[in-house]
Amino acid sequence: MQSTGPRVIGRRELLRCGAWGTTAVVAGSGLLSRLSRALAPPVSLSMDPALVEMVDTTRVFHWTFQLEGADFPSFPGPTIFASTGDAVVVRVTNRLDEPHEFRILGAGPGGGDIVSSPAVLAPGATATVSFTPRTAGTFLYADPRNAPVNRVLGLHGAFVVLPAGVRENSPVNTPYTSPTPALQRLFDDLGRTAAFPGEPWIPVRPAGAPARTDLPPDVERFLFRTNVWVLANVDPRFNAIAEAGGNAEPGGAIDAATFLVGFLPRYFLIGGRSGVFASHDPQLLIEGFVGEPRVVRILNAGLVTPSLHLHANHFFVLAVNGVPLDNVHDIDSMTMNTVEGDRTPGALARGDDLFVRGGSRMDWLVPFIRPQDIPGDPNRPLRDVLAQELALVIGDVPMSPLRYPMHDHMEPSQTAAGGNYPQGTITDFFFLGDLDKVPFPGSGTPGGACNGPGMP
Amino acid sequence: MARLIIPRGEVPPGEEAMFLKFACPPRFSGGPFDPQPPTRTLRRRLDAHLSLPLPPEVAARTRAGRGDITMWVIEDPDDANGRTFPSPLIRTVQGDVVHADVGFSLNDHTIHWHGIEPSPLNDGVGHTSFEATSNFVYQFGTHQAGTYFYHCHKNTVLHFDMGLYGVLIVDPPNPNPGSPSQAPYYGGGPGYRTGGSGFAAANVPGFPGFLPARFVVPYDVEAIWAVDEFDSVWHELNHDAFMQACRADAPAAAETFTNNGILNDFRPDIFVITGVVSVPTTPAGVFPEIGAPITDPAVAITARPNQTVLIRLLNAGYTIQEYTLGIDAVVVAADGHPFGVPPFSAYSAPFAIRAGTPFRLTSARRLDLLVRPTVPGVFPFQVAFYDWIRGPDSASPKLFHVAQTTLTVAP
């Protein structure tokens, strides 16, 4: 493919706040028809080359997915939402220079992959995935060819399946088709018991709640109390080989075995962003009032093993690789695995071993309880208990609302180009106010905020 | 060849201060803010330097090529022996309100109390609050008995590796208020650990003295294993190594970023358990190194038959650490929170790890395990340190070192 020079996406062409790199789309005809009058067409993606700008402005070549009709590609690929029982159709066109493949990993019966037809896409060819998901969960779609090269070079994205019957006032209150008893108890307790005052987990934005304008309109309702984090790592040396026309095909300039042994990432991404930009991305950051629990779906598309740490709240680990856990622990730091690690022969983890060793796809419940180690009368609202703190301005930045981080505690992941801490796998976790939904002083309301609450 | 460019994001006009604070946290001091009456006060000071001597077999093969390694620690200024690595243990009681009066000198630092959940001002994260060079009184509660740790959160990738951390234990009160042994339980035991029901389900020998109604189980002997590794080359760096430059007018400008750092490339060559260096018995250049069993009483455990031993395990490093115990264990807590104890941990239960079954932790995770040997013997313990990019499940695992110690059981 030849053209005349790099084209930088103009500011006008970006969605507001630049939060466009993680577009999302609804795939299942059934899901959308229950929620709006329009039927969703099949999802059409293409595989295209692009330059992805790292946090330090270095531009690195990637193979990316582009949604048909979008002006620009996505890294990671757009999140696809569907529900069980939907007739999902995804069409993928290979606009790269070598063969590629497309699968939805682990989304098939018995945890097998959903494979496209044909399985291999020659340059210029189109393949189709057509299936009906039976099990709700968090899945990764990717190019599995020459694993892990093609996936790590950019061809991956999230595929989220919600339980059938998801509607604005749905009785479904967990993200799973068959929650375990402990999971069901937890979700039943949210918003009902003294330990979890406030609201239950709400899978889809209720009709009466205002839509967020800083998220893509067709899918903002699915991100109401849900986040999707796709983790990736970049070692630009290999991307440069691909940019020069190399690939991992036989005779290609990239050898998958060498890639595995030599991969040393210089950049660490969440939702295609790092550091301060990831911390300001409305699709990535967690924000809410006390009593607004959130589900976070986390996918590791890279090669490193993360140890994700959340401040302020312990989180509940709900499921590993789509398997809801019988034993639901609340922890502050979590081990994940890689796609390859999940499939190591003999690594068929079960039960508690799943919790200890982790998987490439893991779901959290962030309960949004009042941080338990703020001393003072628990019956007084936080705006009174923390009156001095909330009034402080330090470094020209107000301490209101309450802001904490989520980050990978394998601290080399907090670097970019070997330093620049903490411009790596990190995002923000905001408490906007207490149970009474009165925003903390100086805090804006959620939804309309461009880069976090309180900002014009 | 044309390429579309996916940009990294923008700095919205008017938000430069927030973006600057991310890379260059401001300085602040004072506290406690919104003060509550403390039930426990403590003092700490950082940073303090100490030199950790290396055994000859280790010194001969480190990349830095020195006979010792420089550590930065958080010292206890009120203890004549308060400059240690790891930094001195902090021990509080469940329900305490703590005022930690921290003195800072030399350079900017913070203290983050990992797993403890206070307000942001007391959470010790620079870019969401501040960094300190003079003094700050942190205020936090310790509402849940368990195993935590505290560490500096400035240029954490370097400072945490340099040793700016210590263990923080919150003890449950003794269910017998008249007992001479009251929380906090210093001295390696006996003491009490919060633990949920479900020991029968774990199908291992029961633990005597367990009080389900109060969710406490007594232990006789306590071991604290803070398992860590260092990159000796990193220990030659300065406090602000490879940090981003600070430009208030253009906080994320390309020229503020350093581009030649090494802090993504962690090459551990020294391996420790609770500050004790593991000495390789294998020749230099052969991997994995196999460490001689550590006998230092800070690490090696001694107990009598039928005693309950509590092992508090922390991954304080950046490798995937895979542990194997030579005795059955019951895991009763993770990250400070005890399984099965309402209200927040009511959805979990203790589980068993059988002798000889490897299990792993990644950075910052803690597990509390109970073991109860019934016969005399020497039970081995080992930890395998794997590269975080080429871990045990990789097609090509990279195993640096295996450290060992023992639980010796004698009447």
- Overall average pLDDT of the A227-253 stretch: 97
Measure CB to CB from residue A9 to each of B7, B343, B361 and give the nearest one.
B7
**Tens digit of pLDDT for each residue in B80-102?**
999 999 999 999 999 999 999 99
From residue B87, alpha-carbon distances to A309, B122, B152, B227, B234 in Å are 22, 19, 11, 14, 19
Biggest CA-to-CA distance, chain B? 81
Which tokens hold the place of B281? 């018995």
Measure CB to CB from residue A411 to each of B21, B244, B363 and give the nearest one.
B363
- Overall average pLDDT of the B188-205 stretch: 61
Q: How many CB atoms lie within 10 A of CB A444?
A: 17
Contact between B68 and B53 (Cβ < 8 Å): yes
In A, minimum Cα distance to B19 occurs at A276
- Asked if residue A413 and residue A303 are part of one domain, the reply reads yes
State the pLDDT confidence band at A350, using cuts at 50, 70 and 90. low
Contact A373 B2 (CB under 8 A): no
Look over chain A and give the mean of its residue pLDDT values, rounded to a whole number.
Answer: 87
Which tokens hold the place of B170? 């919150």
Q: Does B123 contact A at CB distance below 8 Å?
A: yes
Quote the CA–CA distance of A357 and A350 in Å, as a whole number.
10
**A178-192, A194-208, A209-223, B195-209: which range is least confident on average?**
B195-209
| pLDDT the model gives residue B180 | 86
Quote the CA–CA distance of A44 and A116 in Å, as a whole number.
13
Q: Does A3 contact B at CB distance below 8 Å?
A: yes
Which tokens hold the place of A428? 């923000």
Quote the CA–CA distance of B385 and B382 in Å, as a whole number.
10
For A319, half-sphere exposure in the C-beta direction (CA atoms, 13 angstrom radius) is 26
Q: Which residue has the higher pLDDT, A381 or A4?
A: A381
Does residue A16 surpass a pLDDT of 80? no
Quote the CA–CA distance of B276 and B291 in Å, as a whole number.
12
Name the H helices within A190-235.
Answer: none
Tell me whether residue A291 is in a domain.
Answer: yes
In B, minimum Cα distance to A309 occurs at B364
Quote the CA–CA distance of A194 and B342 in Å, as a whole number.
11
Mutate which: B127, B162, B347, vs A, most A CBs within 10 A: B347
Quote the CA–CA distance of A411 and B218 in Å, as a whole number.
35
| pLDDT the model gives residue A75 | 94
Rg (CA), chain A: 21
- Asked if residue A118 and residue A91 are part of one domain, the reply reads yes
Tell me whether residue A206 is in a domain.
Answer: yes
Contact between A282 and A17 (Cβ < 8 Å): yes
State the pLDDT confidence band at A398, using cuts at 50, 70 and 90. very high
Which residues 91-120 on chain A approach chain B with CB closer than 8 angstroms? Answer: none
- Overall average pLDDT of the A442-447 stretch: 46
State the pLDDT confidence band at A193, using cuts at 50, 70 and 90. very high
Does residue A42 surpass a pLDDT of 90? no
| pLDDT the model gives residue A40 | 56
Which residues 28-57 on chain A approach chain B with CB closer than 8 angstroms? Answer: 48-57
Q: Does B255 contact A at CB distance below 8 Å?
A: no
| pLDDT the model gives residue A348 | 47
**Tens digit of pLDDT for each residue in B103-139?**
998 789 999 999 999 999 999 999 999 999 999 999 9
Does residue A15 surpass a pLDDT of 70? no
State the pLDDT confidence band at B43, using cuts at 50, 70 and 90. very high
Q: Which residue has the higher pLDDT, A333 or B218?
A: A333
- Asked if residue A324 and residue A358 are part of one domain, the reply reads yes
What topology is assigned to B16-173 in CATH?
A: Immunoglobulin-like (2.60.40)
Contact A183 B257 (CB under 8 A): no
| pLDDT the model gives residue A86 | 87
Measure CB to CB from residue B4 to each of A72, A265, A411 and give the nearest one.
A72
Mutate which: B237, B257, B264, vs A, most A CBs within 10 A: B264
Mapped onto helix, strand or coil, the DSSP state of residue B158 is helix
Does the domain at residues B191-228+265-409 carry the CATH identifier 2.60.40.420? yes
In B, minimum Cα distance to A243 occurs at B1
Helix (H) or strand (E) holding B259: none
| pLDDT the model gives residue B217 | 85
Tell me whether residue A121 is in a domain.
Answer: yes
**Tens digit of pLDDT for each residue in B318-346?**
999 999 999 999 899 999 999 888 899 99
Quote the CA–CA distance of B124 and B130 in Å, as a whole number.
7
Nearest to A221, CA basis, from A211, A208, A232: A211
Query: Which pTM value belongs to this model?
Result: 0.94
- Asked if residue A194 and residue A101 are part of one domain, the reply reads no
Give ipTM to 2 decimals: 0.97
Q: Does B42 contact A at CB distance below 8 Å?
A: no
Does residue A192 surpass a pLDDT of 60? yes
Which tokens hold the place of A123? 């340059």
Which residues 364-393 on chain B approach chain A with CB closer than 8 angstroms? Answer: 364-365, 388-391, 393
CATH number, position A281: 2.60.40.420
Q: Does B151 contact A at CB distance below 8 Å?
A: no
Contact B337 A329 (CB under 8 A): yes
Contact between B278 and B317 (Cβ < 8 Å): no
**Strand-strand pairing, A426-433 and A286-289:** parallel
Tell me whether residue A205 is in a domain.
Answer: yes
| pLDDT the model gives residue B206 | 64
Q: Does A332 contact B at CB distance below 8 Å?
A: yes
Does residue A379 surpass a pLDDT of 70? yes
| pLDDT the model gives residue A10 | 31
Q: Does B318 contact A at CB distance below 8 Å?
A: yes
Q: Which residue has the higher pLDDT, A433 or B189?
A: A433
**Tens digit of pLDDT for each residue in B215-240?**
788 899 999 999 999 999 999 999 99
Based on DSSP, count helices (H) and strands (E) in chain A, helices before strands. 10, 25
- Asked if residue A225 and residue A155 are part of one domain, the reply reads no
Q: Residue A333: its chain B contacts at CB < 8 A?
A: 115, 335, 362-365
Does residue A325 surpass a pLDDT of 70? yes
Measure CB to CB from residue A388 to each of B34, B259, B337 and give the nearest one.
B34
Tell me whether residue A250 is in a domain.
Answer: no
Nearest to A80, CA basis, from A37, A36, A129, A123: A129
| pLDDT the model gives residue A270 | 98
Nearest to A48, CA basis, from A10, A117, A1, A103: A1
Q: Does A423 contact B at CB distance below 8 Å?
A: yes
State the pLDDT confidence band at A220, using cuts at 50, 70 and 90. confident
Residues ≥6 apart with Cβ < 8 Å to A345: none
Q: Residue A414: its chain B contacts at CB < 8 A?
A: 156-157
Q: Which residue has the higher pLDDT, A25 or B297?
A: B297
Contact B258 A260 (CB under 8 A): no
**Tens digit of pLDDT for each residue in A353-362?**
777 889 999 9
**A388-392, A409-413, B336-340: which range is least confident on average?**
B336-340
Based on DSSP, count helices (H) and strands (E) in chain B, helices before strands. 4, 25
Which residues 189-208 on chain A approach chain B with CB closer than 8 angstroms? Answer: 193-195
Ranges in chain B annotated CATH 2.60.40.420: 16-173, 191-228+265-409
Quote the CA–CA distance of A159 and A137 in Å, as a whole number.
9
| pLDDT the model gives residue A68 | 85
Does residue A36 surpass a pLDDT of 60? no
Which residues 241-260 on chain A approach chain B with CB closer than 8 angstroms? Answer: 257, 260
- Asked if residue A145 and residue A58 are part of one domain, the reply reads yes
Q: Residue A306: its chain B contacts at CB < 8 A?
A: 362
Q: Does B111 contact A at CB distance below 8 Å?
A: no
**How many domains are there within chain A?**
2
Paired with B338 in beta bridges are B333
A148: containing domain: 11-166
Give the rounded distance of the alpha carbon of A437 from its chain centre.
26
Contact B97 A375 (CB under 8 A): yes
Q: Any idea what DSSP says for residue B255? A: G
Contact between B191 and B183 (Cβ < 8 Å): yes
**Strand-strand pairing, A426-433 and A402-408:** antiparallel
Q: Which residue has the higher pLDDT, A162 or A170?
A: A162
Does residue B300 surpass a pLDDT of 60? yes
**Tens digit of pLDDT for each residue in A95-109?**
999 999 999 999 998
Contact B260 A417 (CB under 8 A): yes
| pLDDT the model gives residue A207 | 82
Contact between B360 and B315 (Cβ < 8 Å): no
Does residue B203 surpass a pLDDT of 80? no
Count contacts between A and B (CB, < 8 Å): 370
Measure CB to CB from residue A394 to each of B20, B28, B142 and give the nearest one.
B28
Contact B263 A50 (CB under 8 A): no
| pLDDT the model gives residue A24 | 61
For A123-181, the three-class secondary structure string (H helix, E strand, C coil) is CCCEEEEEECCCCCEEEEEECCCCCCHHHHCCCEEEEEEECCCCCCCCCCCCCCCCCCH
Residues ≥6 apart with Cβ < 8 Å to A258: none
Q: Does A327 contact B at CB distance below 8 Å?
A: yes
Residue where the block lists tokens 């220079």: A97
Q: Residue A388: its chain B contacts at CB < 8 A?
A: 33-34
Quote the CA–CA distance of A121 and A427 in Å, as a whole number.
36
Contact B125 A73 (CB under 8 A): no
> Percentage of residues in chain A with pLDDT exceeding 70?
85
In A, minimum Cα distance to B8 occurs at A53
Measure CB to CB from residue A277 to each of B8, B262, B394 and give the nearest one.
B8
- Asked if residue A280 and residue A373 are part of one domain, the reply reads yes
Q: Does A325 contact B at CB distance below 8 Å?
A: no
Tell me whether residue A234 is in a domain.
Answer: no
Nearest to B209, CA basis, from B225, B223, B195, B229: B195
Q: Any idea what DSSP says for residue B211? A: B
| pLDDT the model gives residue B409 | 98
Supply angle C-alpha B154, B159, B164, rounded to 5: 105
- Overall average pLDDT of the B56-66 stretch: 96
